[in-house]
Amino acid sequence: MFRRKYITGLLIAMTAFACKKDNYDEPKTTFQGSITYQGEAINVASLAVNFELWEPGWGKSGAIAVQVKEDGSFSSLLFNGNYKLIIPAGQGPFRSIINNATNSDTIPLKISGSTTMNIEVMPYYMIRNQQISKSGTTAVATFKLEQIITDANARSIENVYLYLNQTSIVDQSNYKVRTAVTGSSITDLNNVSMSVDIPSSMSSVGTTGDQNYAFARIGVKIAGVEDLLYSTVVKIDL
């Protein structure tokens, strides 16, 4: 009887401990900002780019993955504390910048109350002066491609795309139609022009039904880099 009571008491204690452990407060401190170059946001694809936050101590061995949105912004709920911010190799159409405090690409981060901070990176290229509009039955884009990295880490342009979609999520995985030009066919990075035919109906994809507008976006595939660089999304009337 004593043994049975002891085991029962032990199970109750373990259950209470487990409940108390599971009832820890959730993180409530906001950490937000954008991935930027000289203060200008780097546009990326939906659900394609993330960075990691590592919190020393507490017996933790895994990273907190923070997703970067299409417009380059991010937001995450954290506990107050000290973190190490790392952009994993191969993430994004850019290179990390060496941090002066760590002499590496690891960024020390102290969270004490809601924090807004941009993460500066070095993109291979930037899309400048984009203009996207409707001309007859086509969407026409003009823009400039500025090469930012010109040293031994420089990369060439593989392809440039012009996408159209029904929704404002537009990238290599989300489009109704697209057109492409090879990087080698671009003779002047300061004056690039592309066009794509607008389908007679934009309602065969998605759930928006017939609509009198579409969303357009430019994408740049850099040689040897998985993630594309994108322009901002432009809404055009059809």
User: Can you give the CATH number for the domain in which 206 is found?
Assistant: 2.60.40.2060
> Which of 123, 154, 186 corresponds to the end of one domain?
123
Residue 201: count of CB within 10 angstroms of its CB: 12
Concatenated DSSP letters of 145-191 = EEE---STT---EEEEEEEEESSS--BTTB-SEEEEEEGGG-S-TTS
Question: Percent of the chain scored above 70 by pLDDT?
Answer: 84
Residue 152 maps to a domain = yes
Q: For the ranges 78-82, 192-196, 202-206, 231-235, which has the lowest average pLDDT?
A: 202-206
CA distance 18 to 149: 52
Residues 105 and 134 in one domain: no
Residues 189 and 177 in one domain: yes
The token pair that represents 218 in the structure block: 């430019």
Residues 65 and 90 in one domain: yes
Residue 113: count of CB within 10 angstroms of its CB: 7
CA distance 188 to 97: 28
Residue 67 maps to a domain = yes
Residues 117 and 163 in one domain: no
Residues 187 and 94 in one domain: no
Q: pTM score, two decimals?
A: 0.85
Matching residue, tokens 């592309």: 194
The token pair that represents 163 in the structure block: 């996408």
Residues 52 and 100 in one domain: yes
> Which of 76, 103, 123 corresponds to the end of one domain?
123
Which CATH number belongs to the domain containing residue 46 in this structure? 2.60.40.1120
Q: What is the pLDDT of residues 166-208, one digit of tens each?
A: 999 999 999 999 999 999 999 999 999 999 999 876 644 444 5
Residue 1 maps to a domain = no
Q: List b or e across 124-156, with b for residues whose CB sees 16 or more CB atoms inside 10 angstroms.
A: bbbbeebebeeeeeebbbebebeeeeeeeeebe
CB 72 within 8 A of CB 229: no
CA distance 137 to 130: 20
Residue 4 maps to a domain = no
Structural domain tally of the chain? 2
Residue 18 maps to a domain = no
* Strand 234-237 with 213-222, pairing: antiparallel
CB 64 within 8 A of CB 109: no
pLDDT at position 103 is: 94
Residue 8 maps to a domain = no
Residue 2 maps to a domain = no
> In which domain, by residue range, is 72 found?
29-123
Q: What is the pLDDT of residues 89-125, one digit of tens each?
A: 999 999 999 999 999 999 999 999 999 999 999 999 9
